[in-house]
Amino acid sequence: MDPERSLAFRGFQKRSPEKVKLRKRKSALYAGAQDQGSGGRGLLGENTYLVLLTVAFRVLNCALVQTSFVPDEYWQSLEVAHRMVFKYPLQFLFQGYTYPLIFASIYKILYLLGKDSVQLLIWIPRLGQALLSAVADVRLYSLMKQLENQEVARWVFFCQLTSWFTWYCCTRTLTNTMETVLTIIALFYYPLEGSKTRSSVKYSSLVALAFLIRPTAVIPWVPLLLRHFWQEQSKLNLLLHHFLPVGFVTLSLSLMIDRIFFGQWTLVQFNFLKFNVLQNLGTFYGSHPWHWYFSQGFPVVLGTHLPFFVHGCLRAPKRLQTLLLAVLWTLLVYSMLGHKEFRFIYPVVPFCMVFCGCSLAQLKTHRKAALGFLLLSNTSLALYTGLVHQRGTLDVMSHIQKLCQDRPSKASVFVMMPCHSTPHYSHIHCPLAMRFLQCPPDLTGKTHYLDEAGMFYLNPLHWLHQEFQHNTSLPSHLIIFNVLEKEISAFLISRNYEKTAVFFHTHLPEGRTGSHVYVYERKSNEKFNR
């Protein structure tokens, strides 16, 4: 070998351990591959266009949901927040101040900016919830891209966006909605096999925050937390340096918040569990048989995704079976409680969409037909529930807002519906005299307890004559469901009430809920004795 070449070769060998700077390539093909591999570009670690598209979709979702679902959408969040900032009266037993404080902060900012109009007070919180739901959607997509591949992630993302129940709930100011958002984001940091974003502190902090907002949020996490603890090699370190500090900080924060607003030390999470689990007083608001979630609740919530969920459970990788265990555990635990609602199992719907996405990824010959079926069936159901079903109780609030503009000091409203059927001051934002039928749960243990609403519906006409014996105490406006009109028509005629507005409510009346909401105005207005 040539001595010069030998010397050069030895010199290259000596320099080889050093880092060699490579020229940056500008090829579009190379850049695309690099972006896919990094996974850290754009917003939230994903493609910017994907994030913006998801945000736009959820904002549209927010605009196209104009119906009411359950009273807690307002009475456990917006009404409490409105009372915290504007000091309007509130007549409701609520869970705590941690969740309403989020909306109270929004209200306070709007007030300081002089922008606290009633429309902004209604829509800004919902838009905020829509943005958080969009973040959760993107996190679910990112997680599945890590655990499986981009194709599976796309189908899971498709199922998440086409779920009619997610569309129906994800922009509402429900504690269940925030619980679901925090659950999805926490799952992104949970140490599932294949996850690259695992962080015990982050996921446990999110779970703890969800627990403060709604204590039952911990139910889906019980099998996940036990699995993590069982597989963790340094169990004592996980317990002492992660779980306990996070629990101590979040619980202390909740105690301080409730101490400030309640005026005394209150552990609202224990009160919640005592009321709903230990004493099972939730049955005061209705009860269902033990199998309701399996026979009705779960099938209705999943809708046409159900067959794909079953197929996905059979074909999904074993490492995802932990999520299936969380779903089954949640259904079993909630089945043991007497009071059942569709929204209670909303936090596990994204888990189910994972299996639906795995099912679509497995389909080859009939995938287009399956996609068309899911898209058409869920879109029609989402639009009906979002724009038609149970909207009268919200539309009537717009009518009441006009009373604030015309003569708030002379007008007065009595809502004669099942209690908390409508929102209250958060949707009118003016000192209008308003009253509704009371229905506080019995905390004294009476055997034959009957609230004001119950006594009213035993004999509405007799109750009205007893309550308003003198014309001076009559409200200027009455709001009722159409099913009550015939029964109290004698009172309406004798007191000079005239129907002035009708609002469509629903095609599916149940019990005391009618298909329309009627507004009656007294021709000779008198001051309302609250």
> Taking the model in full, what pTM does it have?
0.87
Query: Judging by beta carbons within 10 Å of its beta carbon (0-12, 13-18, 19+), is residue 521 exposed, middle or buried?
Result: middle
Q: Coil, strand, or helix at residue 266?
A: coil
DSSP string, 430-449: S--EEEE---PPP-S--TT-
Q: Which of 131-145, 193-207, 208-222, 274-288 has the lowest mean pLDDT?
A: 274-288
In order, the DSSP letters of 103-161 are HHHHHHHHHHTT---HHHHHHHHHHHHHHHHHHHHHHHHHHHHHHS-HHHHHHHHHHHH
**Span 266-280, average pLDDT:** 76
Checking if the pLDDT of 36 tops 60, the result is no
- Torsions phi, psi for 499 (to 5 deg): -70, 125
% of the chain residues with pLDDT over 70: 86
Measured distance CA(220)–CA(327) in Å, rounded: 7
Query: Tens digit of pLDDT for each residue in 252-262?
Result: 999 999 888 88
Q: Which helix (H) or strand (E) holds 357?
A: helix 349-362
User: 146: exposed, middle or buried (C-beta count within 10 Å: 0-12, 13-18, 19+)?
Assistant: middle
- Residue 452 burial (CB count, 10 A): 15
Tokens 């306070």 found at = 108
The string of pLDDT tens digits covering residues 58-69 is 999 999 999 999
On the CB side of 434, how many CA atoms lie within 13 Å of its CA? Answer: 26
- Per-residue pLDDT, averaged over 137-147, amounts to 96
Please indicate whether residue 24 or residue 232 has the higher confidence score (pLDDT).
232
Pairing mode, if any, of strands 497-504 and 516-522?
Answer: antiparallel
Helix extents (H) in 190-320: 200-213, 221-231, 235-238, 244-262, 268-273, 292, 298-302, 306-315
Which tokens in the block code for residue 11? 């010199």
Residue 113 neighbours by CB under 8 Å, 6+ apart: none
Amino acid at 140: L
End-to-end CA distance of the chain: 107
Is residue 354 within 8 A of residue 157, CB to CB? The reply is: no
3-class secondary structure for 171-222? CCCCHHHHHHHHHHHHHHHCCCCCCCCCCHHHHHHHHHHHHHHCHHHHCCHH
Residue with tokens 């099912």: 359
Given the structure tokens 């287009």, which residue do they identify? 368
Helix (H, G, I), strand (E, B), or coil: what is residue 163?
coil
pLDDT in tens, 335-393: 998 889 999 999 999 999 999 999 999 998 889 999 999 999 999 999 999 999 999 99
Residue 112 — very low, low, confident or very high, per pLDDT cuts 50/70/90?
very high
Q: How many CA atoms lie within 13 A of 65 on its CB side?
A: 28
- Characterize 16-30 residue by residue with b for buried, 16 or more Cβ atoms within 10 angstroms of its Cβ, and e for exposed: eeeeeeeeeeeeeee
Per-residue confidence band for 21, with pLDDT thresholds at 50, 70 and 90: very low
**Residue 475 pLDDT:** 93
pLDDT in tens, 392-405: 999 999 999 988 88
Do β-strands 477-481 and 433-436 pair in parallel, antiparallel, or remain unpaired? unpaired
- pLDDT tens, 501-530? 999 998 665 567 788 999 999 986 444 444
**How many degrees, rounded to 5, is the angle at CA 13 between CA 8 and CA 15?**
95
228 Cα distance to chain centroid: 27
Strand order in the sheet with 433-436: 433-436, 412-415, 477-481, 516-522, 497-504
Residue 422 has pLDDT above 50, yes or no: yes
- Can you give 363-383 as a three-state secondary structure string? CCCCHHHHHHHHHHHHHHHHH
Distance CA 37, CA 250 (A): 36
pLDDT surpassing 70 at residue 319 = yes
Task: Say what the pLDDT of residue 529 is.
Answer: 42
Burial class, 212, CB count within 10 angstroms (exposed 0-12 / middle 13-18 / buried 19+): buried
- Residue 509 identity (one-letter amino acid): P
Residue 298 reports pLDDT greater than 70: yes
pLDDT higher than threshold 60 for residue 6: no
Strand, coil or helix: 461: helix
Separation CA 482–CA 516 (nearest Å): 6
What average pLDDT is seen over the chain? Answer: 87
Q: 482 forms bridges with which residues in the sheet? A: none
299/374 Cα distance (integer angstroms): 15
What per-residue confidence (pLDDT) applies to 279?
66
